[in-house]
Every structure is written in structure tokens, then in C-alpha cells.
Amino acid sequence: MPVLASRPYAKLRHVSIGVGGMGRHDLQRFIAHPDVEIVAICDVDEERLQKAGELVPNARQYKDWRKLLKEEAKNFDSINVSVPDHNHFAVAFSAIKMGKHVYCQKPMCHDVAEIRKLTEAAVEAGIVSQLGTQHASGKGDRTAVQWIKEGHIGKIKKVYLCSNRPGATEAYRFLGPRPDGEGTPPPTLDWDLWTGTAPLRPYHPTIYHPSKWRAWQDFGTGWSGDIGCHIFDAVWKGMGLSAPVSVHARVQESWENSPERRADTWPQSNHITWVFPGNEKTEESEFTVEWFDGEFYPPEEVRSLFSLSDYPAESAMLVGTEGALLIAHTKMPVLLPQSKFQGIDYPEIEERDHYHHFVDACLGKTKTESHFAQSGPMTEAIILGTVAIREPQKTLKWDPEKMKIPNHPEAEKLLSRKYRGGWKV
């Protein structure tokens, strides 16, 4: 069940960790809520910190989130974690242990083991939590969830997810490996703090900070880890999915055949297949969900259900016994064939701001849309896909209770990682 705030506040005292890029957007959304007071902000880049400080001149500024949590412990109620993936767990878990409400950017954590531990901690602490899948609060995704539950397309046979965003490969998915030599970080950036829990690598301009870190296994979770939570969310909720039975991945041959790249970067193209246990919404006792990105696309026969020429680059397609449902990312869903479903109108759903919904939950007024008890298991399945990516062409059996991959012990080593000295929480 979604978590309700344990006690009401007159005003939510909030801190923001990471205030550049997406973090700046997150900060602006929290500022926009009339019942939020930004107590403190934190960023390892002084230039970004100062720019954010102009938005909240009364907020105290920190470079090290650990210092902020220690010195502001009695001064805040909630936190948003908007830093690179590899440091999500350390910040969010530390805040939860303090009894603070947590809004965390997707994909929640870098590793499967971190996600499980953070999910359990949030539930045990009874705090309000929200994953940064902001479109989950939109009319499109919420309509799709309702339509799936209402069973308009019959029993679900198969699901196809894709993220083939134009230009994304060139902009965010580097070939690698990283260049030789070492650059000098800009004077405003604390590279040691930025690196945090990950191995301390030599700094290089343009390939890490800002925004480029997702290409590297040390810091990001690849394209499926980054975007998967958005595309999968309505499907997961609508179908009431549980942990997968197995996962398998194909990747582009150039990455698979390069030991240097496989040790450092994520591939530029992935095709992941999960096998899930069926339920009352599926045709069979097991069914598959497939993910496509980069050079891999959903099959033509699937895309042609809507349009081969105009198929949404980022979307989910559910194929059922009585029709299909297309959920284009950030758009309203479409029942297919459209001629069959002309009599079904969009439901009356109010506008909702994902960030403000979290604030209202912290103030005791509502329940969150993407609380960790709901979004944690989904993210766990998605990040299990990144384990399969690093072991391509192998079907990994998954035991969710024991958190084991019984047919591939080597892959189990990729469920967690060893933090750099001084960063264990």
C-alpha cells in the first residue's frame, strides 16, 4: 500500500541534493509548491550550487551531502536525491535512517541489492517515498493503467517496450573505452565528492560531468536503466506484475566482442527479454516483456498495429487477445484497432504534479503515486536487465526470495558492488 505521512506539518521543510541539470528542475518544482520551505541545498559543483542559490537565497549551501545531513538533521523533514545513479542509495538510505521522507530520481539505485535494501528500509521506516517517474502522475500513464485494469484488450499476450529516441546514442552513449591520461577538474568541481561510492577514476572533461556519466558502468545504468522506469511504469502497475522468472539480453556485436568496452561502458543497443509469471490479466501462465533500444526495434508486425512510419520512438505496446494498447511516452494512450474502440472515451482524470503530490503526501493529505514499495520491485527487474546486458546471450534464472541467479553464479557478482573506502553507509 502507498505510504501516508506519519504526521502532518504546517509547512514541509525540504532539502535538495544535486541542483544542476535534472536536479535544478526538481528544485524548481519543489519551490513552486506553496507549502514548501527549502532549508538547504547541496551540490559538488560550486557554480551549479551558486546558481541554484539564486532561486532560494535563504537556503544554506553545502558541497558534501554527508555534512548537510549531519548539520541540518533537526531542520528538515524531506529530501530529494538528484545526483548520478551510483550515489542514489548512499544519500537516500542515510536520509531514511534519519526518518526523513525521500523523493529519489530514477532508476532508484545503481544495483539490484541496493534497490532491495532501500525498498525494505523505506517500508520499515514508514516514511513517504516517491520515485522520480514524473510522467506516472500524468493523465496518459494513469489512463493507461485504468484501461489495462478494465481489460479492454482482453488477456495480455505480450508486451513490447522501446526507447529509440533520435540522437540519444550519439549524445549519451559513448563507444569507449575512456581516453588515456588525466585532465584537471574545473576549480568549481570537487571530483572526489562527485565520484563518491564509485572507484576514483581520472577526471576527463566532456565525458562525465555534466550529464554524460550515464554511459559508464561505474556511474550510470545504461539506457534501459535510465529510461526503463518511465516506459515500464504503467504496464507494471496496470498488470500488477511481480518479480521475473528469468531475463536475457542481446547487445550490439561490436560491444559484445570488445573486452575493453565491456569492462567500462554500457552498450549502445540492447534487446532485453524478461519472462514473468502470469496472472489473471495474462493469456498464459508465463508471458514475456521485451525492451528495445539503439539499433534494436520492436518487430514490424507490432509497430504496424499502429503505424510503421509514425510508431512512437519511446512507448509500450501491450498485445492482447481482443486488441492492443499503445502507450506513447508523455502522450495519451491509444486502443487498437481504433475503429473497434471508438466508443471508449478517455476517463475524467485530474491534472497532477508528481513533485507536489509527494509534498502533499508528506503533509498528510494524500498517498504517493510511485512509492518505493510499488516502484522498488519494478526498478529491481529493470536493473536486473543491466546484469543480463553484461552477460549477453545467457538466460539468467532469477530467485527473488534468495536474490540469487542459480544457473549463473558469476552473474550474481553484478547484483552489488564494493564501495570505495570511506563511503560505506
Q: What is the pLDDT of residues 51-71, one digit of tens each?
A: 999 999 999 999 999 999 999
All three cell numbers of 175, joined, read 563507444
Answer yes or no: do 218 and 182 share one domain.
Answer: yes
Query: Please, are residues 109 and 89 in contact by the beta-carbon 8 Å criterion?
Result: yes
Answer yes or no: do 309 and 406 share one domain.
Answer: yes
pLDDT at 8: 53
pLDDT at 1: 39
Answer yes or no: do 273 and 310 share one domain.
Answer: yes
Three-class secondary structure of residue 400 per DSSP: coil
Q: Does position 321 have pLDDT exceeding 70, yes or no? A: yes
Answer yes or no: do 83 and 103 share one domain.
Answer: yes
Share the mean pLDDT of the chain. 95
CATH number at residue 337: 3.30.360.10
> How many domains, the chain?
2
Q: What is the pLDDT of residues 238-292, one digit of tens each?
A: 999 999 999 999 999 999 999 999 999 999 999 999 999 999 999 999 999 999 9
pLDDT at 9: 58
Cα–Cα distance for residue pair 408/396, rounded to 1 Å: 7
Answer yes or no: do 326 and 362 share one domain.
Answer: no
Tell me the residue range of the domain where 120 lies. 12-136+354-373
CATH number at residue 29: 3.40.50.720
Answer yes or no: do 166 and 127 share one domain.
Answer: no
Answer yes or no: do 88 and 34 share one domain.
Answer: yes
Element (H, E) at 115: helix 112-125
Does residue 6 fall inside a structural domain?
no
Answer yes or no: do 302 and 249 share one domain.
Answer: yes
Answer yes or no: do 321 and 389 share one domain.
Answer: yes
- Strands (DSSP E) contained in 177-260 are 246-251
Q: What is the pLDDT of residues 42-54, one digit of tens each?
A: 999 999 999 999 9
Answer yes or no: do 106 and 147 share one domain.
Answer: no
pLDDT at 181: 82
Answer yes or no: do 86 and 54 share one domain.
Answer: yes
Residue with cell 542459480: 406
Answer yes or no: do 363 and 332 share one domain.
Answer: no
pLDDT at 167: 81
Does residue 4 fall inside a structural domain?
no
Count CB-CB contacts under 10 A for residue 269: 20
